[in-house]
Amino acid sequence: MKRRIWILTSAIVLIGIFAIAFAQFNSGETSIYSQIKLMNKVLTVIYSEYVDPIDYRKLIKGAIDGMTSTLDPHTVFFTPKQYEELRIDTRGSFGGLGIQISVRDKWLTVISPMEGTPAWRAGLQAGDKIIKIDGKSTKGITVTQAVTKLRGEPGSKVTITIDREGEPKPFDVTITRDIIEIKPVPFYGLTKNKVGYIRLVGFSSDAGDAVKKALEDLEAQGAKGIILDLRGNPGGLLNQAVSVASQFLGSDALVVYTKGRNTFQSREYYTDEEGVYPKGSLIVLVDGGSASASEIVSGAIQDHDRGIIMGTKTFGKGLVQSVRPLSDGTALKITTAKYYIPSGRCIQREYYLKRRESAIITDTLNWNPDTLDPWDFNPEPADTDTTEEKPVFYTTGGRKVYGGGGITPDVDYEPPKLNKLEIELERKGLFFAFVVHYSAEHKNAISSPDFAVTDAMLQEFRKFLEGKDFKYQTRAEEILDQIDSIAAEDSLSEETMQALEQFRKQLQKEQEREFEQSRKYIARAIRREIISKKWGEQERYRQIVLGADPEIKKAEEIILDPQEYSDYLKSSK
């Protein structure tokens, strides 16, 4: 036992020596050394005197995790198994759900479900908090730990508990894992008015080539403009972001640059080819699920006044990570720089700097460890004021653009929100299940993807739901349940309880009305699933996305109106 303590003590002392040797500020050397000695003493006392036997490996792992938790959510220590899984990630396909995730406010959060994957089909949305995985809380979990739990053999199932903004209570979603292989451009084509559309879902190793080929084909077909759809695109490889941007910006244009504490971490990235589409009308669609490489491309296009950005504000992920292999198969993924786009804006939302437990020094000029109380760990609550003005920057043409993290669109477009019925039907996969049933019962009823969903089909869908014993509660009914519980506890009068019961019956009638209000959405969802089943994803894009997506229609209108298009790109000076 003494030998183990000696080994641990020696290891920590060596860490301290290296830390001191590489420290770049002299005034804090004594403080650093004394704090490492303190950590050494705490470890020794715990290991030798704690009432129960201690697994020293977990003790060290806990200390390392504690250190990284005071930084940003993307700085993570990998055990040998986790590091191997990271390397598997870079090799291609794997069994999983198909979601990009991050940690916000200590909770696992969905950045975006990847199109065509189990998570996408289950209706997961950007911003959903995954509060449990197979019944176990995810509070405080790292992204790496979550990935380990969510991945598994294709065909196996995992149940996640979702906390969604606007929903009165969390709900469970059971998803069957599948092989995740995503083409960067699952579809491109022309609208009826000959505006080109390209759907880019990720920046994998062939994203640039895929966009280039799509542009060449669309140009050959006489496209009057291009819509690049980056909604829900979580990003990917930096070199592919530069490659995609090159197709629109021409050669020798600055796309992005990085800045870190060390000079070798600061680099500039320029386009290296003329590109297929350096001129012509261009609209880029983004939303809260557009992150990282998506923000680099859309931000560079905006900063160079090359096109119009349309949608909602992007995610704000602009931290650069490097993986440093350590000893015994372990590794540290550490944030070493930040992304900046040509106007000088930083893509990253700096929310992590304001956490109470943050160890990051935001004011290095006035920080002196020798004059501070070493145990004064941000006793005051973090500044959560969201009304502060965003810093203003300017594009090459003099237009105002705003910093503060993420890309703010030139044209705001908020997509219509689903009501509770529509959410529940999508979440439970009932459109897909109905189409499987309908196709078996009516094998030759539909012969063309141009079909319309009839009233008879909608009636059959309703009967199908009854057979599945489909039930759901409106938000008002869920709130009424809480009122009933309070009323019972407080022994309210019989008259009040009867009034509540009458109100409940009235709300049940509202469910019938909600179905009628959702007829168009339900018909479109049934048509979507039938087309996907009979003619595949390409035809689904052609018929449902190009034919009915209101945001694409709005983008098309702007492109076809030269005056409106140019107005959005005029200088605000």
Contact partners, residue 304, CB within 8 Å, separation at least 6: 249, 253, 342, 395, 396
**Separation of CA 260 from chain center:** 24
Please measure the distance between the N-terminal and C-terminal CA atoms of the chain and give it in whole angstroms. 73
State the catalytic residue, choosing from 72, 178, 229, 303: 303
Q: Are the beta carbons of 343 and 303 closer than 8 angstroms?
A: yes
Of 377, 424, 425, the closest CA to residue 529 belongs to: 425
292 is catalytic: yes
Coarse DSSP helix, strand, coil percentages of the chain, rounded to the nearest 5 percent: 45, 15, 40
What is the number of other CB atoms lying within 10 angstroms of the CB of residue 97?
Answer: 27
Catalytic residue among 129, 212, 313, 317: 317
Helices (H) and strands (E) in the chain, counts: 18, 21
Q: Is 477 exposed, middle or buried (0-12, 13-18, 19+ CB in 10 A)?
A: middle
Contact, 203 vs 184, CB < 8 A? yes
- Secondary structure letter of residue 350 according to DSSP: G
Cβ pair 477, 168 in contact under 8 A = no
Helix (H) / strand (E) containing 321: strand 319-325
**Candidate list 246, 292, 298, 343, residue with the active-site label:** 292
d(CA 131, CA 204): 29
Q: Write the DSSP string, 184-205.
A: S-SEEEE-TT--EEEE---B-T
* DSSP 3-state of 43: helix
Which segments of 90-206 does DSSP mark as H helices, in order? 118-121, 143-150
Q: Which H or E run contains 63?
A: helix 56-69
CA nearest neighbour of 545 among 299, 231, 295: 231
Q: Is the torsion defined by CA of 439, 445, 447, 452 positive or negative? A: negative
* Pairwise CA distance, residues 102 & 495, whole Å: 50
Phi, psi (deg, nearest 5) at residue 332: -125, 120
CA angle 425, 428, 431 (to 5 degrees): 55
Q: Do the Cβ atoms of 153 and 177 come closer than 8 Å?
A: yes
- Two tokens at 5? 């303590």
Q: How many CB atoms lie within 10 A of CB 274?
A: 12
Classified as helix, coil or strand, 519 is helix
Q: Could you list the active site residues?
A: 292, 303, 317
